[in-house]
């Protein structure tokens, strides 16, 4: 039998170290290997991706391409600009492919796409080989062990994974790879029609031109540039760099500090730490697969077992963090596409939030503005101008750098949903989808459900204070000063509540605290040339917390989940929550001026273990 001609499809695995799928491809002893990336219009236009994540992806692709060339000077990453559904069948024919190999991807869109590709491959007589490598365990195997149910707690996840044994040991990097075959392309690319483009706002130069030619404008199969996407390079402001080389260097550096690795306890790491962050900051690399999660776990376990002192344990230690990641992947796999929203989702509680999703889902008009005030709050949250310095610092760090600490994510997610603005968690998840470098659908959605107490976690009475929580970690406000520079001049006493500073203190600090114009939606008008302003708080936090607590209590009493017929047909809110809605509308917007003296109530950082199988 002639040697196989393999098309290796890179997607979630932008690396050459510990890649089970690449290993399987090479085990075929192929006559030729085509390392392909399909520039899929779904991600380019229908997923929310900001400039920072585009840049990170392009860096990962360039680094991978260089690694492939290192393993064989005739090789490079072949970036082809077309949807896989139309492109791959043409490539099977053009390059006489016998085998298609890829890493398994259980995200909703990917799972559906891959099922279609497998069918197309079968029709073309191409054998398909897939391997799990994105997670420690195969999500499908975890769910099978969990009796077909979603893993809604780490306890149930750990039990299921225990039955499957330890994750396989990492595989070595290949020492060489075969040549590609003939790279000629006798067909033109099918240019995708722009039905929707969720990233249009970022394209300040021109519309997306990344589909101008199948192998790129220079016919060299290079990854598109930000310029080709119409995105100015200056808008990619993150200091975090993509690529396997960076990831492995970062991991090696972390492993040198065996005490950090072996005694890591997430709740003790500060959300206010920067340069360096208090946690590993490896999540973007796990997302793009520029770091293997098995390699990360294995290296951590190796360093920890050699460590002589007392060691931290799951769920707060580093392996525990990776188990959480796998838990969300498995839960998403069990629930399927409904995992990304409330309606139709059996594991999520129904809460009549403001700005609910449009049903049926509409990517161009994703939500209903049922309250202009809540909409203004949402926009102020997204742009970091809430008037709560700790929240604003976190949201600005997210926008500038694409990453914030886990407890920072707790703070801003709680504040937007059940601990302040009472806005639908799906709105927050969309903003994170756009801005995070590490945006991982399963983890993002799952954590938003956790923080909004709609699934995974139910202690809605534990709420983060935007003042006390920041102060606890960073009493001098260095983090706020870094990301909200207009507040730099305030003394420590005022840094978390500058609106309480007397006018003379504000003058001394060189920044005046004023209400935003037009009920809080428009930016501050410059009231005096050269003068710096920062907004007053957009609401009275204590009052909002009490309001949200009452609503959450009511919603828990009603006890509906997303798959309830009244949630599905949209009658639940009017029938069961009418009174709640009218009391919300009578809350005044100007109460933030009153100083509240009652003590703040904070959640413990990791929120402990989750109750077993809570639905
Ligand atoms: C509202 C919200 C949204 C989130 N969205 C994402 C997301 O889109 N992608 C994402 O990877 N993480 C997400 N997280 C989880 C977590 O905040 C990040 O994984 C973590 O902060 C990444 O930083 P790190 O690499 O320094 O983490 P470390 O503390 O160093 O942990 C190591 C790794 O464990 C994994 N991990 C840690 N905590 C979690 C967790 N709670 N859930 C899932 N995985 C975890 C990550 O892969 C991380 O890189 C979200 C958390 C919240 C509260």
pLDDT tens-digit profile of 163-219?
999 999 999 999 999 999 999 999 988 888 888 999 999 999 999 999 999 999 999
* 467 and 499 Cβ atoms separated by less than 8 Å: no
Please tell me if the CB atom of residue 282 comes closer than 6 angstroms to any atom of ligand 1. Answer: yes
pLDDT tens sequence across 375-395: 999 999 999 999 999 999 999
CA-nearest residue, atom 48 of ligand 1? 283
| Domains in the chain: ranges and CATH | 1-133 (3.40.50.620), 135-173+244-340 (1.25.40.80), 342-478+541-593 (1.10.579.10)
Secondary structure of 359-397 in the HEC alphabet? CCCCCCCCECCCCHHHHHHHHHHHHCCCCCHHHHHHHHH
Q: Is the pLDDT of residue 588 over 60?
A: no
Provide the pLDDT for residue 584: 53
Please tell me if the CB atom of residue 396 comes closer than 6 angstroms to any atom of ligand 1. Answer: no
- What is the average pLDDT score of the chain? 92
Please tell me if the CB atom of residue 432 comes closer than 6 angstroms to any atom of ligand 1. Answer: yes
Please tell me if the CB atom of residue 312 comes closer than 6 angstroms to any atom of ligand 1. Answer: no
Gap between the Cα atoms of 285 and 53, Å rounded: 11
Provide the pLDDT for residue 598: 34
pLDDT band for 609, please (50, 70, 90 cuts).
very low
CA-nearest residue, atom 47 of ligand 1? 283
CA-nearest residue, atom 30 of ligand 1? 280
Q: What percent of the chain has pLDDT over 70?
A: 92
Please tell me if the CB atom of residue 444 comes closer than 6 angstroms to any atom of ligand 1. Answer: yes
CA-nearest residue, atom 16 of ligand 1? 406
Gap between the Cα atoms of 254 and 388, Å rounded: 33
Provide the pLDDT for residue 362: 84
Q: How much distance in Å is there from the Cα of 10 to the middle of ligand 1? A: 23
Q: How much distance in Å is there from the Cα of 374 to the middle of ligand 1? A: 27
Q: Is the pLDDT of residue 597 over 90?
A: no
Please tell me if the CB atom of residue 238 comes closer than 6 angstroms to any atom of ligand 1. Answer: no
Gap between the Cα atoms of 73 and 594, Å rounded: 69
Give the pairing of strands 99-103 and 5-9. Answer: parallel
User: Is the link from the previous residue into 333 a cis peptide, with omega within 30 of 0?
Assistant: no
Secondary structure of 139-155 in the HEC alphabet? HHHHHHHCCCCCCCCHH
Please tell me if the CB atom of residue 443 comes closer than 6 angstroms to any atom of ligand 1. Answer: yes
Please tell me if the CB atom of residue 410 comes closer than 6 angstroms to any atom of ligand 1. Answer: yes
The whole-number average pLDDT for the span 30-44 is: 97
Please tell me if the CB atom of residue 325 comes closer than 6 angstroms to any atom of ligand 1. Answer: yes
pLDDT tens sequence across 544-567: 999 999 999 999 999 999 999 999
Provide the pLDDT for residue 529: 66
User: Is the link from the previous residue into 74 a cis peptide, with omega within 30 of 0?
Assistant: no
Q: With CA atoms as reference, report the closest residue to 554 among 577, 587, 571.
A: 577
Q: With CA atoms as reference, report the closest residue to 493 among 469, 466, 471.
A: 471
The helix-helix angle for 154-164 and 318-335 (nearest 10°) equals 90
Q: How much distance in Å is there from the Cα of 473 to the middle of ligand 1? A: 19
pLDDT tens sequence across 308-336: 999 999 999 999 999 999 999 999 999 99
Q: Is the pLDDT of residue 485 over 60?
A: yes
Please tell me if the CB atom of residue 322 comes closer than 6 angstroms to any atom of ligand 1. Answer: yes
Ligand 1 pocket, mutate which of 283, 429, 440 (most atoms under 8 A from CB): 283
Please tell me if the CB atom of residue 280 comes closer than 6 angstroms to any atom of ligand 1. Answer: yes
Q: Is the pLDDT of residue 592 over 70?
A: no
Please tell me if the CB atom of residue 75 comes closer than 6 angstroms to any atom of ligand 1. Answer: no
Compute how many other C-beta atoms are within 10 angstroms of the C-beta atom of residue 416: 30
Please tell me if the CB atom of residue 279 comes closer than 6 angstroms to any atom of ligand 1. Answer: yes
The whole-number average pLDDT for the span 49-74 is: 98
Please tell me if the CB atom of residue 448 comes closer than 6 angstroms to any atom of ligand 1. Answer: yes
Give start and end residues of each alpha helix (H) in 388-519. 389-401, 406-416, 425-435, 441-451, 468-473, 478-483, 503-509
CA-nearest residue, atom 6 of ligand 1? 444
Please tell me if the CB atom of residue 262 comes closer than 6 angstroms to any atom of ligand 1. Answer: no
Q: What is the pTM of this model?
A: 0.94
- Residue 264 Cα: closest atom of ligand 1: 29
Angle at 309 between CA 316 and CA 404, to 5 degrees: 30
pLDDT tens sequence across 143-152: 999 999 999 9
């Amino acid at each position: 039998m002639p040697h196989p001609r393999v098309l290796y499809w890179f997607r979630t695995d932008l690396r050459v170290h510990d890649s089970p799928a690449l290993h399987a491809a090479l085990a075929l002893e192929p006559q030729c290997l085509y390392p392909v990336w399909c520039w899929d219009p779904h991600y380019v236009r229908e997923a929310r991706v900001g400039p920072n994540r585009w840049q990170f992806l392009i860096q990962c692709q360039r680094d991978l391409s260089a690694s492939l060339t290192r393993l064989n000077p005739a090789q490079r990453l072949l970036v082809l600009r077309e949807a896989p559904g139309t492109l791959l069948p043409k490539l099977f024919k053009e390059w006489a492919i016998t085998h298609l190999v890829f890493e398994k991807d259980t995200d909703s869109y990917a799972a559906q796409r891959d099922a279609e590709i497998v069918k197309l491959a079968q029709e073309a007589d191409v054998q398909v080989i897939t391997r799990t490598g994105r997670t420690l365990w195969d999500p499908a195997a975890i769910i099978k062990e969990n009796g077909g149910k979603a893993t809604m707690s780490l306890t149930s996840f750990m039990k299921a994974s225990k039955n499957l044994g330890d994750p396989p040991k990492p595989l070595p990097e290949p020492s060489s790879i075969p040549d590609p075959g003939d790279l000629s392309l006798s067909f033109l690319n099918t240019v995708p029609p722009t039905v929707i483009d969720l990233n249009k706002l970022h394209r300040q130069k021109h519309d997306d031109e990344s589909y101008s030619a199948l192998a790129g404008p220079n016919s060299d199969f290079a990854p598109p540039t930000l310029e080709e996407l119409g995105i100015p390079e200056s808008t990619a402001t993150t200091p975090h760099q993509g690529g396997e080389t960076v990831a492995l260097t970062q991991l090696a550096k972390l492993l040198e500090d065996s005490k950090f690795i072996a005694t890591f306890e997430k709740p003790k790491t500060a959300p206010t730490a920067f340069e360096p962050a208090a946690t590993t900051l490896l999540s973007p690399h796990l997302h793009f697969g520029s770091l293997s999660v098995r390699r990360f776990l294995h290296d951590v376990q190796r360093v920890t077992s050699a460590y002589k002192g007392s060691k931290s344990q799951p769920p707060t230690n580093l392996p525990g963090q990776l188990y959480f990641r796998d838990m969300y992947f498995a839960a998403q796999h069990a629930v399927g596409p409904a995992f990304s929203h409330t309606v139709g989702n059996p594991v999520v509680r129904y809460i009549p939030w403001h700005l609910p999703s449009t049903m049926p889902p509409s990517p161009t008009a994703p939500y209903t503005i049922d309250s202009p005030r809540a909409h203004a709050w949402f926009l102020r949250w997204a742009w970091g101008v809430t008037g709560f310095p700790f929240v604003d610092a976190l949201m600005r760090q997210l926008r500038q750098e694409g990453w914030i600490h886990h407890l920072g994510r707790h703070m801003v997610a709680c504040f937007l949903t059940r601990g302040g603005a009472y806005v639908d968690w799906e709105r927050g998840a969309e903003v994170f989808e756009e801005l995070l470098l590490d945006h991982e659908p399963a983890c993002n959605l799952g954590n938003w459900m956790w923080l909004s107490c709609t699934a995974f976690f139910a202690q809605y009475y534990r709420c983060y204070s935007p003042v006390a929580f920041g102060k606890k970690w960073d009493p001098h406000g260095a983090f706020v000063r870094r990301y909200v520079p207009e507040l730099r001049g305030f003394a420590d006493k005022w840094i978390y509540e500058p609106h309480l500073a007397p006018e003379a203190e504000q003058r001394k600090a060189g920044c005046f605290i004023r209400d935003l114009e037009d009920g809080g939606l428009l930016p501050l008008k410059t009231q005096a040339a050269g003068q710096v302003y920062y907004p007053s708080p957009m609401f009275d936090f204590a009052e909002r917390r009490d309001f949200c607590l009452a609503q959450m209590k009511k919603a828990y009493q009603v006890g509906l989940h997303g798959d309830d017929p009244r949630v599905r047909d949209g009658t639940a809110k009017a029938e069961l929550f009418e009174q709640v809605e009218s009391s919300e509308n009578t809350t005044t917007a100007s109460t933030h001026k009153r100083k509240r003296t009652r003590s703040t109530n904070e959640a413990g950082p990791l929120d402990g273990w989750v109750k077993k199988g809570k639905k």
